[in-house]
Each structure stands twice: as structure tokens, then as C-alpha cells.
Amino acid sequence: MCAASRPTNKDPYSEVEALWRSVRDFESLDKAPLQAQPWRAELLQEPETDSRCRLLKSSGSCEHARIYEIDAPGESHARAYLWPGALGEREQRNLIFRTLRDWAKPPNRSNLWPPPEPQPGEKQAKAKRRNDEVEKNEDDDNDQDGAQDGGRTSRRPEDFDSATATPSSSSSSVAPSEASPKARKAAKSLVEALDAFLVQDPIVATDNTHGHDAEKIGGAGDAALVERLRWVVLGQQYDWSTRTYLSEDAAPSLPQELRLLASEACKRLQQQLGDENLIDMSSTVFDAAICNFYHAARRPSDRLGGHRDDVEADAVSPLVTVSLGLPCVFLLGGATREARPIPLLLRSGTLLILAGQARHLYHGVPTVLVPPQLQLKGRSPKRLKSALPPRLAAIYRGSAIPGEVGGLEVPSLLDDSAKHIRCGEGTDARASLEVLDAADAAVKFRDGTGVDDSNDENAAESSSAEAIDWLLARARMSFSI
């Protein structure tokens, strides 16, 4: 539990971050001792009744869009824009389905692909590290295990510090066509596991292991692999260790669904801001995104430390963040760590838009909130023993719950646009499900071959309902576009 007093010898951002890191679920916030803590009252969870939020005027095509403006802390004069319930259940499920079926696969880079290649002297250095760390299991000498449990490739891209980051073999600037046999084998294994995960109930598969090694049994092993997936770069690929972009032909272009989502969100925001908007969002070209996964099975270690976005040369254009699945506490800081951050409760289906000076603010995710019934012991998935009360269901599932969101009926952002996407209008092609050659996959994306048939698309998504439900209840996914 959290200490009653604030940590000492830390800057204000780090103080607030440390307090929220020890919060595991929403229920604990409504009980002693946390309920009476001053910092708990700082949580911005109901924008429609919070004085720190200003509802933008809506008109025309935006009359149903309830977007709130929030002043950033400190003296930055920056503003963030919060759009609760922007995405309905259908859009959320479609994004998760497309991510697992298409976007998380090579040649898109992730913490699981390409795998780290051995470097001269690395084997000896690794052996020395094992001897120095007596608390670690000496049998854990497999590169993939290192990737899933704290090895270099398990770090989130945002965790890299420009002053200390060193190039790693897992993020070297190698084109898919030049992938090593090890990388080609890893691509095949990753594709097969993701495909298998989508067509079976992960919990049933895990229950059927009867104590055997889950990694060696279909569904359970596939679910375990999904829990190891922490980030995927989409569109323009980026080497986070050397902080350089790769060539444009290294991977497919940004999926049309994400490009349309970000563009439409900025268009509606700009319409509501009118003359008050000093940034032209209409001309923004969205060409890259990162998808982050925060898994309940890795809670509380799976989080995003406070940082500033200083990678891009253009740190003014809008950044659109989409939240799916479990809720999180997002810290909206100031231009320095001396500004006390505002904790925002981001629920499933919420959009957060940062533009202009807001792109330079400190921010992070100190905790992902997991229902007590689903806080995993060991690594065994469980079912909810009973349905969540309506209030908690609204917290944990957000607009994934059909019906009202925050007491208001909010039409889905992409309600009409999603129909056009599914019918193949402007749909980006997807690679073959048998990615034996990453270069061939990239060519298929670029050449526009393999456009999905809408009937096949709907049938495939329907057959993946259990897997999507499993992920929605056990992970937070976020797209930063």
C-alpha cells in the first residue's frame, strides 16, 4: 500500500509518480487509507464534473464530440485535449484484432522481432553477468527469456535515454530482406503463435495444461507469447537505441485505420477550437505510430516512466494517443519535473491529444489498474468469478461496455469511416499469414496485394472474440500516432 506521507528527496513529478506506482486497482482508492490521501483527490476521473476541464463548444459534424481542454501544470501555458468514449466497442475490438492478426508481425519491429544477434564477446559477458547476479536463475541463458523478463529488448522505446543508450543487436538497422536465418525463424514462430492465439480461448487452453509447461502447449504458450509483446512500431520504423529512422521500405506504411483515426480526431478538434487554435492540424501527415502493451501478468513492473518526447525533429505536430483495454493513470506533467503532474484516468476508448507546446511536457504511466479478481498469482490467467458492478465496469472497460459512457451517449468517432475501411476503401494490404520471408511480406504491403474481403474480415474477427475479450480484460494497449 502507499505510504501516507510523500516521498522525500525527489522532484515533484517523481513524488507523484512514486505514489501512484503502488496503486494496483481502482477499488483501493475508495477505501482507507488511500481514500483520505490528498493526492488521491487529484485524480481527474470525471471530466464532465471536474473544474480543471473545459468542455469545448461543438457544432455541425462535431455536435456529439465531447472534447475537454486541460491546462498543463506549471508555467508552460500548454494544453491537452481529452476525448472520453471517442471509440466504441466495435472500433476498439477491430483495432485489437488488426494488431494481433497483421500489425504485430514482421517486418514491423517489436521487442520480439528481430531477435538479438550474438555479438563478439557477448557470450562471455553474459556469463559474467550471471555469475555476478547470484539471485538470478543460472539456467536462464536463453535470449528469448531475456527478452521477456527484463533483457534489453524488453525495454520500452520511451525508456531509452539519449545520453546513455547504446546500440543493441535487437534494433540494428537491418532491412527485412537482409534478415538473418535466426530472424527469419523468429518471424515464422511469432506469426504462427499470434495466429493460433486468435482462434482459441486462451483460458481454456491454459486450463488444459494440467501443470505442464505452458510454453509447449498451443493456446497457453500462445497466450504467454502475447504477454511478452510489449511494443510494436508501425509505419516509419525507428531504431530506438541509435535514435535514427530506418529506410522507408523497411516495413509497411502506417495502417490506414490509424491514419484515418488520428486525422479525423485532429480535424474535429480543430473545428471545435476555431480561431483559438494556433496550430494547423489539418495538414498533419501521420506516418508512424507505436503500440504499447501493458499486461496484468507483468503488473506492477509493466509501466512507462516519466519522460519527454524529444526524438522527433517535428515535436509540434499533434500526437494522438488511443487507450484500449484496462484503465491507467496517466501523468500529465509540465515542461520540467518541478511541476506537479495531473493524474488522468484514461479508460478504454479514450483519446488524448497533445500538440504544440504540449508535446514537450513530461508524461508517463505509473500504473495500470487491474481488478482484484484478475490480479494474477504466478502466471495463470483466470476468469472473473462474477460480473463487475456497473460503476467499476465503466472504470475498467470504459466505452467497451455497450450503452452510456460517463452518463452521456457518445457516437463512435469512426462509426461511418470504419465501414469504408472494412469494405476495402483505402485499406492497406496485409502480408501473408505465413511470413517465411520478411522481405516478401514488405513487398506485399507496399504493392497493395492481399486486400481483405469484408466478409472474410468479419468472420475472422468473430472467431477471435474470445482472444480479444481475454486481452481487453488483461492488458492495456495504447497507440501513440
Annotated binding site for Fe cation: 307, 309, 363
Report angle CA 153, 159, 161 to the nearest 5 degrees: 110
| Residue 471 falls in which region: left (phi positive, over 0), alpha (psi -120 to 50) or beta | alpha
Q: Please state, in angstroms and rounded to a whole number, the distance separating the CA atoms of residues 317 and 464.
A: 36
Question: Which residue numbers belong to the known binding site?
Answer: 307, 309, 363
Give, in order, the Cα–Cα distances in Å from 165 to each of 122, 168, 171, 219, 436: 17, 9, 12, 36, 32
- The rounded Cα 1 to chain-centroid distance in angstroms is 26
**66, 410 in Cβ contact below 8 A?**
yes
Give, in order, the Cα–Cα distances in Å from 10 to each of 13, 17, 336, 466: 8, 10, 13, 44
Cell numbers that stand for 284 in this block: 498533419
**261, 320 in Cβ contact below 8 A?**
yes
DSSP β-bridge partners for residue 405 = 408
Report CA torsion sign: 218, 220, 221, 226: positive
